[in-house]
Structure 1
């Protein structure tokens, strides 16, 4: 639990690796299709991503390394990111809508995020 606030709004770590890699200082933007943002994730709202079903997760992230974490950990990571976000009714609603999930681990993270969303 003490590490959750340190994650900020990150839901998957590839971006951090790309930023930290010293070789990327030589990288130039490319028009190569395989390196362009895909799957409709760019500009996505976390609350909307939290609503994805497992089928939608699998379909929209086909070919993406994000699929390796699985739908449950995807939801957990988004819950943590929403808990670290500024309080908003949209985030609170999205978190509450997932409280009936069968995973106790996910529900724990949802409750944590809701508590953080209720802070002044």
Structure 2
């Protein structure tokens, strides 16, 4: 890529919101835990250094999504997804792409029993698109995990599903 030129096809917002197919494998690890968009460009934009946080209710996270664990979100049925994202832009990506994005985020998460169980559920109940991403994610958690039964995993005390702040800007924590 050329310096100072953005290739929108590599943009996390594009990949998680607009792109309907498989996310290229070489970009998945860099996505971290982002499952719907990314604010990094807004955070580093020099023009935004003058911006003030809005106190508008419409801009606040809804339905407890800001601190939800990815493993928990991956358990939502399509009906739950539609109900919990009503009135939210997240709803427009649909349940299939929601699960695809969650599989990528879970693939970048620490290995825990809830993460592995969520990925197994995505693999077993998802479409071919979701299954491909879940298998990739399971493989990142160890050799053969894409084919291993999650019931054999022993949950370690204190470990839960993966969650993290919605952006990497420490001033917004």
TM-score, with structure 2 as normaliser: 0.62
- Comparing both structures, which one devotes a greater share of its residues to helix? 1
Kindly provide the CA deviation profile for residues 10-45 of structure 1, in whole angstroms up to 9, marking residues without a partner as x. Answer: 101143354245453223234322122212101100
Is the contact between residue 88 and residue 117 of structure 1 (CA under 8 Å) also seen in structure 2?
no
Distance in 2, Cα, partners of 1:10 & 1:54: 20
CA shift at 1:51, angstroms?
0.7
Correspondence 1:28-107 to 2 at 5 A: 28-107=52-131
Distance in 2, Cα, partners of 1:54 & 1:18: 31
Distance in 2, Cα, partners of 1:14 & 1:109: 19
When residues 24 and 60 of structure 1 are mapped into structure 2, their CA distance, relative to the original with a 3 A threshold, is farther
Secondary structure class of the residue paired with 2:26: coil
The structure with the largest alpha-carbon Rg is 2
Higher relative contact order (CA 8 A, sep 6+): 1
Secondary structure class of the residue paired with 2:124: coil
TM-score, with structure 1 as normaliser: 0.86
Q: Which runs of 5+ in 1 are unaligned?
A: none
Q: Which runs of 5+ in 2 are unaligned?
A: 1-24, 144-173
Is the contact between residue 82 and residue 113 of structure 1 (CA under 8 Å) also seen in structure 2?
yes
Q: What's the RMSD between the two structures over aligned residues?
A: 1.8
Count of residues in correspondence between the two structures: 119
